[in-house]
């Protein structure tokens, strides 16, 4: 559950916008007693989206903080909606990604202060489809996946698939329409990502030689672009005739400088 908490009228208006754009979110406006309500939500594992000063948040949650591996994500926003700051459990708890999702909803700037993720991650899309899948279906599926992941199209580095889709008209057209590179990989390259898949399909393996095209292609592309291990940001999503997944990897410090 996501708790959007606002203390001012301007914050309430912003909170209504955020709660309407998020799944499983509820707005609390001037909850009373404030500290008790915040601490109860924190202990319950609810993500906290606080539209107020960071000092207020810190004083409220300080007594119930346990560790970065157990605490829920806490994101602070100013009431004008200009900045989204992951305050607690940024990387491990998902506050960094939640802040990006919030920023995408309202056009805010994300301010990330955690050590590793201050490097901008590389995001890659993997897609698979039936032969002859139409461009519109591929576009609609990708749009849905980007929305779920809280990403903008501008953040996507490439669209990727298996090499037997190198001549797939719809995927080629999608890359051209979005001005994104369309890249393909052989099954041996994709098999290297088997351990990271969220789902493994025996049917897909029997058909093309890998347990998942979309997830494998996204992971391998992100790994190749950064030279570092990749992880799934969004597991395989399906439409009638296509699949899509999104992976990310962080560049090395020397590459970011």
Q: What is the rounded CA–CA span in Å between residue 235 and residue 145?
A: 9
Mean pLDDT of 57-76: 88
Res 120: pLDDT? 78
Q: Which has more confidence, 70 or 57?
A: 57
| pLDDT tens digits, 95-143 | 888 988 898 899 888 887 655 546 678 999 999 999 999 999 999 999 9
Cβ atoms of 120 and 92 within 8 Å: the answer is: no
Cβ atoms of 97 and 248 within 8 Å: the answer is: no
Q: What is the rounded CA–CA span in Å between residue 219 and residue 241?
A: 21
Q: What is the rounded CA–CA span in Å between residue 140 and residue 253?
A: 35
User: Mean pLDDT across the chain, nearest whole number?
Assistant: 90
> What global pTM score does this model have?
0.57
Q: How far is CA 197 from the centre of its chain?
A: 16
Res 118: pLDDT? 63
Helix (H) or strand (E) holding 109: strand 109-110
Q: Sorting pLDDT into bands at 50, 70 and 90, what band is 146?
A: very high
**Domains in the chain: ranges and CATH:** 2-110 (3.40.50.11220), 122-256 (3.30.420.180)
Strands 25-29 and 109-110, bridge-based pairing: unpaired
| pLDDT tens digits, 7-17 | 999 999 999 99
- Core vs surface per residue 15-46: b (16+ CB within 10 A) or e: bebbbeebeebebbeebeeeeebbbebbeeeb
Mean pLDDT of 168-184: 96
| pLDDT tens digits, 205-256 | 998 889 899 999 999 999 999 888 888 889 999 999 999 999 998 886 544 4
Three-state SS at 196: helix
């Amino acid at each position: 559950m996501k708790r959007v908490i606002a203390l001012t009228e301007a914050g309430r208006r912003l909170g209504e916008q955020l709660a309407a754009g998020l799944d499983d979110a509820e707005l609390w406006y001037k909850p009373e007693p404030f500290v008790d309500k915040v601490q109860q939500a924190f202990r319950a594992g609810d993500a906290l989206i606080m539209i107020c000063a960071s000092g207020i948040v810190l004083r409220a949650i300080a007594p119930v903080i346990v560790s970065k591996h157990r605490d829920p994500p806490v994101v602070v926003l100013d009431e004008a909606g200009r900045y989204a700051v992951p305050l607690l459990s940024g990387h491990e708890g998902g506050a960094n990604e939640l802040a990006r999702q919030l920023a995408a909803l309202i056009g805010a700037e994300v301010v990330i202060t955690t050590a590793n993720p201050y490097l901008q991650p590389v995001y890659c899309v993997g897609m698979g489809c039936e032969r002859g899948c139409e461009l519109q279906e591929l576009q609609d599926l990708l749009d849905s996946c980007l929305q779920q992941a809280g990403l903008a199209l501008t953040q996507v580095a490439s669209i990727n698939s298996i090499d037997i889709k190198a001549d797939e008209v719809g995927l080629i057209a999608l890359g051209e329409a979005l001005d994104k590179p369309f890249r393909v990989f052989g099954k041996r390259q994709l098999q290297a990502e088997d351990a990271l898949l969220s789902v493994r399909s025996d049917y897909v393996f029997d058909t093309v030689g890998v347990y998942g095209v979309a997830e494998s292609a996204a992971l391998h592309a992100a790994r190749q672009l950064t030279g570092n291990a990749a992880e799934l940001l969004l597991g395989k999503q399906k439409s009638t005739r296509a699949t899509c997944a999104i992976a990310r990897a962080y560049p090395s410090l020397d590459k970011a400088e």
